[in-house]
Structure 1
């Protein structure tokens, strides 16, 4: 097979993963991605890349395996120690308030280390294992299989374990021993967070989703951000990664020390819906629109203009379109809203994400550039611009964006 045909097949696989797995385009470009494809082909004893592309298209398990090669499931015990110290304090407080059951979640749990750490935090502050559930969810079948078998990945112990964890997780020479109590708290499940909307039957008290967003395209980040909010209990705690920028537009308020990367879901107010039922009303920080003055009279010379859709309404209408991959319809809706409020950063982010989903990377880059023009310190937009610049072959530009992020403390 010719070199040009091989490149076309690799490009097709990359586009397929962008559409189906919602991975950021910057991850699926260059020699590293080609090497990942060849590695998976070698494991399957395949030499024809066109045939392998057909396998990726038809076999969801192989698609996830390849995605795992790109979005490496790296994890280690008590990563970001301040997160777990803050978690222990929060779980102790819930225990003291006589809460009967504790439900936690590790999204993008990789090989299970994070979920085991969460369980050990709960047990260390007095929760009985019978009253603790830690949902551990990852899209990778290989990672979930490894976790269920209790295999500890190499390099997962990078520092001394905290003393309070020793009864449940302990180091012995070069290995780590997980207690049966911890193992019994964790429920592993292979799911795609972007497809499985109703994952949990109970609100989550403490939810970890750390360093997952950095692998997703912007539209997928928005979708997962809102799902995280919906899954989390009122006054629940969300732990993000150091490079995740999910706070914009979500019901999340900074909680705990900065190094914990923790956010609290604020308690919702309520409104009455059209059917007369009371439902939560989410107050979104950074999303409060000014109240337009009332118009007392109307005439042909000065007609009453239709009330523009609020940002929350636009996002609510767009989400089902994104889930159904109706990107053109979603684009038109957001562009219409931007005609009324052209400097709306959240809508610009949403539009940029839609362009990414359509693989219109140049338009996505231009839209994120508008965001940074309006808000120069906007970390998520800078990250997206760096990834898009890589995907467009503008490595110097990507380096400048990453350098700016580093100066701002976003890396």
Structure 2
């Protein structure tokens, strides 16, 4: 990402004298973020959430955390980060993590996965259970629930989609189950009519997930790096799409190994379009386009928040 610079050479020289290690973007910047501050942010978010921030994410870090500094009436990232480190149990950690979490999602994203999911769950005896490990603002878990409704018919209400995410702000939006109408307009007309209610009055221009679909989805906060996950398996499928790209290979392998006991022996793991788990863990083998199955089904044991 190119950093916009709109300051004169004299201003740059003065800034370099006053703050030799400061990262200076433009005269409009009212907060000080040094190179050391940026490295501290990278270290803290990695330790807290496993997220690896590349060097070119400086602009993003500044813009997203600047709101937190201004809220606390601080002008230096150094002071904000010191407060975090001095108070490890502070609720500000949640806001810090939320600010640095990317929530890019859509209804029925990566459409090629859903026919395979439909085929898979149609063979399941009893209630279907799916874990969506990156629920974000809800589009993905609700899409899964819609697919279950279409495939299972009268059996669908007994099925459950557990949607988890580390970002509590995103989960709050997911619980509202209300979306801009133009986002829903991308779906075909049959799905729009079957699964959404058009808003009116204050909700004009918005669409709400029908209650029978939202009732199938349970949303929880979960950090994939936590020592214990507050969910119980096993699941017929796990959706962990476009999440692993934010982790390093060691973290990816550890999470994949932990997924094993949360899947039924014939369960499926759905990955994102740019993710390849074949060279990260021997626990899974490729079954289809970014879809995996257990390499050793006998290794799957029903867990309890493991």
Deviations 1:310-334 (A, max 9, x none): xxxxxxxxxxxxxxxxxxxxxxxxx
Match 2:292 to one of 263, 266, 281: 263
* Cα distance in structure 2, aligned partners of 1:219 and 1:253: 18
The two structures, once aligned, show a CA RMSD in angstroms of: 2.9
Deviations 1:75-114 (A, max 9, x none): 11000111112211211222xxxx1121101111101110
Q: CA deviation at 1:237?
A: 1.1
Change (3 A) 1:196 1:118: farther
Match 2:172 to one of 114, 126, 145: 145
| 1:194-273 map, 5 Å | 194-248=225-279, 249-256=281-288, 258=289, 261-266=290-295, 268-269=297-298
Q: Which residue of 1 aligns with 2:210?
A: 179
Deviations 1:201-242 (A, max 9, x none): 230101100000111122211111112222111110111001
| 1:126-165 map, 5 Å | 126-152=153-179, 156-157=183-184, 159-161=186-188, 163=190
Deviations 1:318-359 (A, max 9, x none): xxxxxxxxxxxxxxxxxxxxxxxxxxxxxxxxxxxxxxxxxx
Q: Which moved more, 1:84-93 or 1:18-27?
A: 18-27
| 2:43 corresponds to 1:15 | yes
Q: CA deviation at 1:130?
A: 4.0
Write 1 or 2 for the structure with the bigger share of helix.
Answer: 1
* Cα distance in structure 1, aligned partners of 2:264 and 2:59: 43
Change (3 A) 1:89 1:44: farther
* Cα distance in structure 2, aligned partners of 1:237 and 1:80: 16
Gaps of 5+ in 1: 270-279, 283-411
Q: Count the aligned residue pairs.
A: 265
